[in-house]
Amino acid sequence: MSKILIAILLGALSATLTICAQAAEEDVAAPTSGRTEVISFQPALPKGPSREGSCWTSSIALPRAGAWRCMIGNGIEDPCFSTPEVTNAVICGANPATSDAGFLLKLTKPLPPPDAHTPSTPSPWMVQLAIGQGQVPGPYAMPPPKTYCSRMTGTMAVVDGQPVPFSCWEAHVESQPKLGDTQFGLLDDFKPGKVWTVTEVTFAIDPKPAPNQPPFKLLGKKTIALEKAWE
């Protein structure tokens, strides 16, 4: 084999390896400020009408002091927040993603003792995904919609053997997924730092799953950065 042919083959192999390495690297959009903003959420006292109910345990959605899992009739509110401004009520329904102030829940029973368990890993309640600075092309270019994910406290999807405890949605978009629709959520594998990252999972509900097979079909996984994290 000639030296020229060997050089050509080595060059082609090197180019192939370079392309493969580049394909393996994930393009993770950075937060707009260059770092993830971590917020200890404490809602302000709402001004609207109050409701009555009780809290029976610490929050599942936000395992921290002063956050509770409460009931109003047969409905569950989680998290609800203690506030130093009142002693016989908590604030429920507050949402930093939608700027919803929530409502005051007047307690019909005293609050229970708080759960002594402290998570060993970062455990945010709600996050905003970093989507970069790109714009939707067109004559009336608009920034991409903000995307939020919040921790589920009930039944959750199990995809490729892994639970997906965070459900995601785009701001100002209200729709219920149908069978076969592509959905996405987050695993609970947050990696804190200057920029927090987490695994995003894309999946679909199989309308006709095979016998003894889960109904959720994995479509893809990728690492994504967080713009904000509310704890």
User: How much is the pLDDT for 225?
Assistant: 97
The predicted pLDDT at position 203 comes to: 92
pLDDT at 74: 92
In this structure, the number of other CB atoms found within 10 A of the CB of residue 157 comes to 18
Q: What is the pLDDT of residue 29?
A: 83
Query: Structure tokens of 73?
Result: 């009739």
pLDDT, block means (10 residues), the chain with 231 residues:
41 39 53 94 94 95 93 95 94 93 96 77 90 56 80 89 91 56 89 95 83 84 96 91
| Helices (H), ranges, the chain | 3-24
3-state secondary structure of 145: coil
pLDDT the model gives residue 95: 94
What pLDDT is attached to residue 34?
93
Per the CB < 8 A criterion, the answer to whether 224 and 196 are in contact is no
8 Å CB contact between 61 and 150? yes
What is residue 139's predicted lDDT score, i.e. its pLDDT? 56
pLDDT at residue 19, rounded to an integer: 35
Q: Would you say the pTM of this structure is higher than 0.95?
A: no
